Structure 1
Amino acid sequence: MMSRQLYSVTGNSQKLDGGAMFGNAPKAMWARWVSVDEQNRIDLGCRALLVREQHGDSVRHILFEAGIGAFFEPRLRERYGVVETEHVLLASLAAIGVRPEQIDVIVLSHLHFDHAGGILAAWQQGAPMQLVFPNAHYVVGQEAWQRALQPHARDKASFIPGLTELLAATGRLERVSNAHSVLLGEGYRFHHSDGHTPGMLLAEIDMPAGPVVFCADLIPGTPWVHIPITMGYDRYPELLINEKRVLLDDLIHRNGRLFYTHDPKVALSGLSRDETGKYSASAAAAELVALAS
């Protein structure tokens, strides 16, 4: 019989402009939810989700995203507000007894640097860019892959030059165009979203107490559960709002939960909707340690 445990895994953190993160919402509104520094930046996490599957003596580790990592050279690290210089994700995995070579599958919702950069080794002067998980297979959406190959001028800077070549060269890349992955198998499915970037994959994991969805940049953290709140980085905010409403209604109906990659304080929450129709996060958890229900 197969068992499945979920762990939240901390990666490198970021500080980004609050106005950009909250789109057209006025600061008077979003400043009630988060604090800002002297540069108007807010704290953001880059959290990954590790699934440890055990079937008899066989163990499989699946990593959902890898955060921003530490691949940036110092000038770009400063520009994009990356706080730590070391590769925090690797240290966090080590703390729960997982070495890089033990990661079997990495699922990337899309290929923006703050979601895929952690699959790269930390920057070193003069060293070539290289992948840090030597045995991992990679899952990415076909449309998100094409966007990385041919980005629009609006988001070209969000992609890592040379990353697609490194991934393709492994021979361990699956590009999915529907709701299921051959690599992942049963117990996993994808919701597709285009509002933030074309073809973003929102992975759903079957759990006994109800599904857990890695909601990526559709809902970066608990403040964005509120339907009208979007980011300035989103490609089509109105489409994103529609996608968000459909997902939240579905998950409320099925007792689903959301896993947040960018919320600095909350890893997982349930969902509620009040009598006015407003959605909010409920039963928030700061971290997951061997969640099995």
Structure 2
Amino acid sequence: MNLYTIEAGLFKLDGGAMFGVVPKSIWQRTNPPDENNLCTWAARLLLIETGDRLILIDTGLGDKQDAKFFGHYQPHGSKLDDSLAKYGFQKSDITDVLLTHLHFDHVGGAVERRADRLIPAFENATYWTNQKHWQWAIYPNDRERASFLKENILPLQDSGKLQFIEENEKTFFTKEIQIRFTYGHTEAMMLPQISYNGKTILYMADLLPSIGHIPLPYIMSYDMFPLKTLEEKKTILEEAFVNNYILFLEHDPLIECCTLKQTEKGLRLDKTFKLQDIWR
């Protein structure tokens, strides 16, 4: 098995929305905002090469939306294609796209626009979500509707390339990749947990967007069920500390991976490093 960090660019979101009830005077220490109160965030993906499969976790925002849409989020920086090419891969090599959830910043790159058609961007890949989250996304509540864009989702079903992962306490995508289900940020978000060379790497998706979100009350306003997030976050971070998990951060603009330590104030950031440095 080989693991690769895939940078799909940076984008901006409101700092207050990203930190919920936490005052700006506190959260800006780790995530300084611009003059419009927007903070920069990463779309950091994980590519797993195992056997004859090449598995991509999430896809970033993509580039098919119009200028008005991107004007809100100001995407910039690395391109997914270039990041794949850095390791000698291209989109057609991907065999599986595992979508943690279907919010636009995680699934936007799964579909691309060619002329007047919307088609899967990874032509040879099977796309994976789960039944409960799929239903939640295609029949969204009014509060979450703006995050579930039909053009990002329905073409996957229309293509016949969409498959569902079974939801239970011991779901394994491959023998090395377990799927953890969480329900605070959105219904049935999936966190891939990877076993490799005696270490456990947990892809945090939106349960822990950045190192700035490690303290338990630091929960996004985007979360549908913040008290559920609090419960899940406490359980998983404590487990990660006890077992020395490596946390892979999808949205931190600077930090790829981290570990945790126990302090008088609770669990806090310990070591930070790049994925490629883990086995050096």
| TM score, norm. by length of structure 1 | 0.89
Work out which of the residue numbers 117, 120, 123 in structure 2 matches 1:131: 120
Computed over aligned residues only, the root mean square deviation of the Cα atoms, in angstroms, reads 1.9
Aligned to 1:66: 59
**2-structure distance, mates of 1:272, 1:118:** 35
**2-structure distance, mates of 1:199, 1:291:** 30
Aligned to 1:260: 249
Structure 2 unaligned segments of length 5 or more: list them: none
CA contact under 8 A between 1:15 and 1:83: conserved in structure 2?
Answer: no
- Partner of 1:266: helix, strand, or coil? coil
Aligned to 1:47: 44
* 1:77 and 2:67 are equivalent in the alignment: no
* 1:169 and 2:158 are equivalent in the alignment: yes
* Alignment length (residue pairs): 279
CA contact under 8 A between 2:119 and 2:159: conserved in structure 1?
Answer: no
CA contact under 8 A between 2:119 and 2:156: conserved in structure 1?
Answer: no
Aligned to 1:6: 3
Work out which of the residue numbers 271, 274, 278 in structure 2 matches 1:283: 271
Please list, as runs of the form range in 1=range in 2, the aligned pairs for 1:84-123 lying within 5 A after superposition: 88-121=79-112
Amino acid at match of 2:58: E
CA contact under 8 A between 2:202 and 2:246: conserved in structure 1?
Answer: yes
Please list, as runs of the form range in 1=range in 2, the aligned pairs for 1:196-275 lying within 5 A after superposition: 196-274=185-263
Amino acid at match of 1:89: L
CA offsets 1:143-182 (integer angstroms, 9 cap, x no match): 2111111100001010121333221233332212224667
**1-structure distance, mates of 2:89, 2:236:** 32
Amino acid at match of 1:111: L
Following superposition, the deviation at residue 292 of structure 1 comes to 5.6
Instruction: Pick closer, same or farther for the CA change 1:7–1:281 going to 2, 3 Å.
Output: farther
CA contact under 8 A between 2:55 and 2:97: conserved in structure 1?
Answer: yes
Following superposition, the deviation at residue 120 of structure 1 comes to 2.3
CA offsets 1:227-247 (integer angstroms, 9 cap, x no match): 110111111111101100100
More strand by share: 2
- Partner of 1:90: helix, strand, or coil? helix
**2-structure distance, mates of 1:266, 1:209:** 22
**1-structure distance, mates of 2:191, 2:101:** 9
CA contact under 8 A between 2:247 and 2:259: conserved in structure 1?
Answer: yes
**2-structure distance, mates of 1:164, 1:206:** 29
CA contact under 8 A between 1:5 and 1:291: conserved in structure 2?
Answer: no
Identity, % of aligned pairs? 30
